Amino acid sequence: SERLFGGFRKTSERLSSNLTGVVGTARLDDTTLDDVEDALILSDLGPSAAARIRARLAEKRFGLEISERELKEAVAEEIAAILRPVARPLEIVAFPRPQVILVIGVNGSGKTTTIAKLAHWFQEEDYGVMLAAGDTFRAAAIGQLATWADRIGAPIVRGPEGGDPASVVFDGVKAATEQGIDALVVDTAGRLQNKRELMDELAKIRRVLGRLNPEAPHDVVLVLDATNGQNALSQIDVFKEVAGVTGLIMTKLDGTARGGVLVAAAEQYGLPIHAIGVGEKIDDLRPFDPDLVARVIA
Ligand code: GDP
């Protein structure tokens, strides 16, 4: 929890300073509620979550005395209420194995690192994990994934640079099935500049997977970089359209004051949030604990 606090430090400082001084008359009146709403928007929680939190505060406490500390606690409680319904760890449940987890997201979002962290997490839970280097567009991406695979001691299936991602995934599922692997975690290209191509590529991966196992991919996890603030949200729209998304992992919550976007994402999309990234190291992926996050942010 201490390390998680470190994770959200800047976000928490921003929200806290935005909320400081809003309790003017010591009673919760319209001016104070306006200021709270503005503070939440300025802290990247987004207009819709901000309005919802304002309405809930008004409903519960309008006209009542409130101190700054009580206000922050009340805000934390409302944030928790938004986050709780979407908190859902990624669980290995597929039968037959392997569970196929497609990981999508724009280049630079932390996708490769998150794949390694996730694989490590499963390994710690005694699951057998295999990686598939489905981002064949960038040679560096294949190399980087291979380096992580080596580091965590996970087998990896890779093809040539410029090769067909769907065939890498096909090989991955075959190898994982033969070797009794529990989870196949698949890296994919993140070229949003060419939406059409990316869409076709992901659709082909889906088709090939679906022929091997109608349930696959079991998960389509979108990795989002919190430092992108509201732009991270528009990526959800795009990837929902391009690939379908079953859940989110938000990264880089350690380095940014824009972590409030996690709340905006939860409120506006209601997609499961599986975990959060709070650093560059292999064990810097945290389970998404809504109460802890809410308490830390506000
Ligand atoms: P990809 O292009 O999406 O595969 O992104 P990478 O996995 O290569 O990550 C891009 C950069 O972000 C790297 O320098 C990572 O170390 C860094 N990174 C990834 N996740 C986190 C995180 O949670 N916190 C911080 N501070 N850096 C991260």
User: Poorest-confidence range of 12-21, 39-48, 281-290?
Assistant: 12-21
CB of 123 shorter than 6 A to ligand 1: no
Task: Name the residue with higher pLDDT: 105 or 6.
Answer: 105
User: Relative to the CA of 278, which ligand 1 atom is closest?
Assistant: 23
- Quick: pLDDT tens for 92-119: 999 999 999 999 999 999 999 999 999 9
Give the tokens for residue 31: 């001016």
Our measurement of the distance from residue 268's CA atom to the centroid of its chain's CA atoms, rounded to an integer in Å, reads: 14
Confidence check: pLDDT of 4 > 80: no
What are the distances in angstroms from CA 153 to CA 85, 119, 124, 196?
35, 10, 12, 35
Instruction: Report the C-alpha gap between 155 and 104 in whole angstroms.
Output: 20
Give the tokens for residue 66: 């409130």
CB of 227 shorter than 6 A to ligand 1: no
Phi, psi dihedrals of residue 260, rounded to the nearest 5°: -60, -20
State residue 26's pLDDT score.
Answer: 76
CB of 254 shorter than 6 A to ligand 1: yes
Q: Whose CA is nearest to atom 9 of ligand 1?
A: 110
Average pLDDT of the segment spanning 188-215: 93
Which of the four pLDDT bands, split at 50, 70 and 90, describes residue 193?
Answer: confident
- Quick: pLDDT tens for 26-47: 789 999 999 999 999 999 999 9
Task: Provide the whole-model pTM.
Answer: 0.96
State residue 1's pLDDT score.
Answer: 53
Ligand 1 mutation target, pool 120, 258, 280, 281, most atoms within 8 A of CB? 280
Q: Does 105 belong to an annotated binding site?
A: yes
Average pLDDT of the segment spanning 234-263: 95
> Using an 8 Å Cβ cutoff, are 134 and 189 in contact?
yes
CB of 252 shorter than 6 A to ligand 1: yes
Residue matched to tokens 């409903």: 59
Torsion 279-19-44-47 (CA) sign: positive
> Using an 8 Å Cβ cutoff, are 207 and 165 in contact?
no
Which of the four pLDDT bands, split at 50, 70 and 90, describes residue 7?
Answer: confident
Instruction: Report the C-alpha gap between 232 and 238 in whole angstroms.
Output: 10
Give the tokens for residue 104: 């999508």
> Using an 8 Å Cβ cutoff, are 254 and 73 in contact?
no
CB of 284 shorter than 6 A to ligand 1: yes
CB of 43 shorter than 6 A to ligand 1: no
CB of 197 shorter than 6 A to ligand 1: no
Q: Whose CA is nearest to atom 12 of ligand 1?
A: 110
Cα–Cα nearest to 130, from 167, 160, 165, 157: 157
Which of the four pLDDT bands, split at 50, 70 and 90, describes residue 255?
Answer: confident
167 Cα to the center of ligand 1, angstroms: 26
Average pLDDT of the segment spanning 241-265: 95
197 Cα to the center of ligand 1, angstroms: 24
110 Cα to the center of ligand 1, angstroms: 4
CB of 235 shorter than 6 A to ligand 1: no
Instruction: Report the C-alpha gap between 169 and 164 in whole angstroms.
Output: 9
Q: Whose CA is nearest to atom 28 of ligand 1?
A: 280
Q: Does 172 belong to an annotated binding site?
A: no
Report ipTM (2 d.p.). 0.99
CB of 280 shorter than 6 A to ligand 1: yes
